[in-house]
Amino acid sequence: MSEEAKAYVAGIFDRAAGDYEQVGVDFFGPVGARLALHAQPGERVLDVGCGRGASLFPAAERVGPTGFVHGVDLAPGMVREAGAELERRGVTNARVTLGDAESLDFPDESFDAVQSGLVIFFVPDMPQAAREIARVLRPGGRLALATFAEDREEDQTLQATLRNLLTPYLPPPPPTANGPTPAERLRTPESLHTLLKDFTTIEFADHLQRILFPTPDHYWSWLWSAGMRAMMESIPTPALPEAKHTFTEGVRSLAAPDGTFTFTMPLRFTTATRP
């Protein structure tokens, strides 16, 4: 089941790679920049689930010419796009390769720091990924994670309103569906402490990420450009035009007078140290 689940996740992000962070909505950029603040000059840094490089590029800038950042991602499309961007920018202190968080292809104690932004909850076997991260970190090496935090009541209300716009077009969940969705995993400090039991000095910093959608159409495109694509692909193709109209008009009714719509998402930045 783990291999099947990983292939499914890789497929979703492979198909999203062309639009990932390219639809006029700046979300992953600020998250990646904040995550990369832990990187220090001269260090070797591993970026797990690097995507198109939202945290890889700022980390490469911070480690400088004497450091190096290696990004791994399960989706071939993400590796291709990030690699092309490395070449386009002329970045020489970073590279990107295919990689599985549950089985990192690096020797023990290879890195001074590991970073992973809004990724680890997609990994089927999260404890195995945590063990692998600890293995490739040197003693005293640091881990920086970005995950979702607990929703505020106002967030839950707005999310329910937005979800209800699409519910008529989504198939019912299969009878075998159980357990939390990826976005519902690791939502509490307790769950992160449990996951990171092989680490010490675990610290949290919560942050409300503001997401500005210039138009309702930008919101629709954004849903297709990342993990929510899994839900969007379940809408039957013949129903897509009506679903898009219903959703964008619903968002328009919630928008500001200038047509923009702002959504806030609670995030948690976690740092930990390998003993």
Separation between Cα atoms, residue 136 and residue 151, nearest integer Å:
33
* The overall pTM is greater than 0.85: yes
CB atoms within 10 A of CB 232: 20
Q: What is the pLDDT along the chain (275 residues), one digit of tens a residue?
A: 589 999 999 999 999 999 999 999 999 999 999 999 999 999 999 999 999 999 999 999 999 999 999 999 999 999 999 999 999 999 999 999 999 999 999 999 999 999 999 999 999 999 999 999 999 999 999 999 999 999 999 999 999 999 999 999 999 876 656 678 887 899 999 999 999 999 999 999 999 999 999 999 999 999 999 999 999 999 999 999 999 999 999 999 999 999 999 999 999 999 999 99
Contact 31, 58 (CB under 8 A): no
| C-alpha atoms less than 13 angstroms from C-alpha of 236 in its C-beta half-sphere | 7
Place of tokens 């001074």: 112
Give the rounded distance of the alpha carbon of 85 from its chain centre.
18
Separation between Cα atoms, residue 90 and residue 264, nearest integer Å:
34
Cβ-in-10-Å burial (0-12, 13-18, 19+) of 41 comes to exposed
Place of tokens 């040197």: 138
pLDDT of residue 1: 53
pLDDT of residue 177: 61
Name the helix (H) or strand (E) containing 67: none
pLDDT of residue 175: 62
Separation between Cα atoms, residue 138 and residue 220, nearest integer Å:
43
Place of tokens 């995550």: 35
CA geometry: angle at 248 spanning 245 and 254, to 5°?
Answer: 140
Which residue type does 102 have? Answer: E
Residue among 208, 269, 223 nearest 32 (CA): 269
- Phi and psi dihedrals of 209, rounded to 5? -85, 125
Contact 9, 120 (CB under 8 A): no
Residue among 133, 111, 124 nearest 198 (CA): 133
Contact 40, 62 (CB under 8 A): yes
Token couple for 232: 């969007």
Separation between Cα atoms, residue 92 and residue 79, nearest integer Å:
16
- Phi and psi dihedrals of 253, rounded to 5? -70, -20
Rg (C-alpha) for the chain, rounded Å, is 19
Class of domain 2-152+178-210+265-273: alpha beta
